[in-house]
Chains A and B, each alone.
Chain A
């Protein structure tokens, strides 16, 4: 391997005849005067001077080279020349000299670029791509840290593990995970969460997809790979069922947000709520007040005890509020509180809050605001050297983050997420925001994400956003639509550059992975089996029967409480024919059915 052509202080061209270069592989320019600059392959090409592309000269067919190979064992590939564009990892003062020897590095020569943490105290997220040749020289602590899933096959770790030290977040806070459907984004998020559980970092997760539980193990998971009892390290709560809002804690603004989330509020309704809601209202007192007012307004002037201040509020607005309040109540939002969440976080557990997205958004705003305040109050008190109630630092995680902090319009949780994005690190509260639409995520928030994992992205506008918000090069951005599922570029201020990583195989899997279409097929089977049990005995009595007898059959079945029209029965019978329980012959236009033996 040697440097050729025009060089500069940032990039060189390296050629080799022995083997092709791999994207993102590390190389060392063997020049002691420059202190052995290290570089990363950013573009690769191969060339064979005997396999020129020249349409005018004609093309040598592959059979000619095959004949040389067969007769003389002569391989034209020995003339391959492999070319790599290598970007230097550090700036140097003068260009590299052409002709300088280039070699593969030893692990310790590049370890400072690759490993930025202790695996036991950090998130081990996957394997840095094209580092397999360095793996042999790694210390034992880095070996066997991750397995990979490639085309459905489990593979051992084949390179340097990608290690993310959460401590570094104090300086470079917050993580974004971007990628379209099927890009491996959800698995990537799962691996992050598994690693947070490994370190027992209190984590609050909003899960609108009901998929972030950690009880199930993937079917192809190798024995012993699931090394932790994740089921003990996480708790899942459903909004309305397990957790809810303590109505007393709500101020008017929160209440408005909640009602608005149930269904959009009109201006009249908003001012009605502002007029009617009092501090320290419970659900009972507030809803009672609304109900009374409705009765009063419906009953007409002079009747009932509607308070004076409520006069002038139109009935339609009050009814609107009543309807919304009932919707939230029926969803169970006011029957519980967030104590279980607080307790789980204090216990260092990963706390998953599940719910429909409309409710989760409001709930997230409420619960995050409350918990963040607790943490902030504690830290502020500590700062003022006053006693305070301890609340632990925590990580806030959400998928579909663009729904929580959208660009261009308001959402209930947006202001608290923005606040954490901007000053959360001061209090030890960090964000992990996953979305498939980074373009739709609030820009202030995006700008604060110091580490971004970019999975396969196809949409041009999202690629443009990613290019703007990361240090991905033009070539890397060009590869984004074609990344394999599970491959990601991690652009991090901690590393100071973009690292290509294959996310490790998850140790757990989501529970609801049954394909809805498989489910349909199963239901059809269940129904057809049910039908057979019902009609089987009656059919057995007939043995062989034809179309004309179907009317008798419906009568017999009706006697047993199963009513079918002739047409419906015929179509169900045809279903049994397809399933192989019945034989059907058509003779002179008349269908004849025969029960199959054994059916």
Chain B
């Protein structure tokens, strides 16, 4: 008897291979031609020596990343440890911490809603914490560049108020703000080009459209913003607008995204793409090494988590302890 999974996977293949086939996108040369319609496709420059030395003068680079570690796993019996780190290239850095716990539920109905939304709640808290860390880093260091881990639109959507403050502040203080996106989940090309796209291209993900199209060391500098929304009561002119560029900054197939504020991107920041390419390991994931360093530092080790959990009263801790931990295998 045939394996149910085998049959289902075969059906899935049939369904998707037509939809996702490269043939519908044209050959590589044609695809590159199409991409040139939405922006400049250029080789990235690996900076060295003088070009590097003069770039930051005495100002700093700040990388911002956040992390969530949980104790307990079943809603609502868990405590989340949130931490955001803004790590400057010189100095201690800004580390902000928060705790999130859905307990105690107000009533049954509310618990039901929270169950569906609680992940979003903590993601908002984390996004806010990261933006707060970035803001604090501006006051403390007035860096030249702030690199956020993940798309800027994530902050624009999840913590709109504080992100607006950050946006205004960086523009005012002439600090470049950028977001590095390792896993692109956007449809920037589709939304910028709209109906101008060939029929096979419409409504497809950027990741899909760009797969193996750029050479190593190339960037697609998209010329128009595609993301961003207005605040409540804000008119469209002052709304956040974000431009996304795509870089093939490592030898791995698949591009990474670079989110820039429209105001800053329009002023010409090609050097930033060159610089980030320069500090991205060729054999890595394609994101700048600085974010790897921040990521390594912000992460909470199991031992640290255990140490903090000991601060909970035993009867409280018992509530969160999961039977999973006592499994034999």
What is the interface of chain A, defined by CB distance below 8 A to chain B?
A: 49-50, 58-61, 64-65, 67-68, 70-74
Contact = CB atoms under 8 A, between A and B. Distances in A.
A64 B289 contact: yes
Given A49-B296, A50-B296, A64-B289, A71 B55 contact: yes
Contacts of B96: none
Given A50-B293, A50-B296, A60-B289, A68 B280 contact: no
A73 B89 contact: yes
B52 A67 contact: yes
Contacts of B280: 64
B275 interface: yes
A60 B285 CA distance: 11
A574 B241 CA distance: 89
Contacts of B53: 70-71
A65 B278 CA distance: 10
A576 B49 CA distance: 56
17 contacts: A49-B296, A50-B292, A61-B281, A64-B279, A67-B52, A67-B278, A68-B289, A68-B290, A70-B49, A70-B53, A71-B47, A71-B52, A71-B53, A71-B56, A72-B90, A73-B90, A74-B90
Contact of B279 (A49, A68, A73): A68
B111 interface: no
Contacts of A70: 48-49, 52-53
Interface string B263-299: 0000000000001001111111000011011001000
Given A50-B296, A72-B60, A72-B61, A67 B90 contact: no
Contacts of B296: 49-50
A49 B301 CA distance: 14
A59 B284 CA distance: 8
Nearest to B288: A64
A27 B10 CA distance: 68
B281 A67 contact: no
Contacts, number: 52
Nearest to A49: B296
A91 B258 CA distance: 60
Contact of A67 (B48, B284, B293): B48
A98 to B, nearest CB: 13
Nearest to A74: B89
Contacts of A50: 292-293, 296
A401 B56 CA distance: 69
A50 B283 CA distance: 15
B89 A72 contact: yes
A61 B46 CA distance: 14
B284 A68 contact: no
A75 to B, nearest CB: 10
B69 to A, nearest CB: 18
A78 to B, nearest CB: 10
A50 B294 CA distance: 11
Interface string B30-61: 00000000000000000111001101100011
B60 A58 contact: no
B60 to A, nearest CB: 7
Contacts of A67: 47-48, 52, 278-279
B46 to A, nearest CB: 8
A68 B89 contact: yes
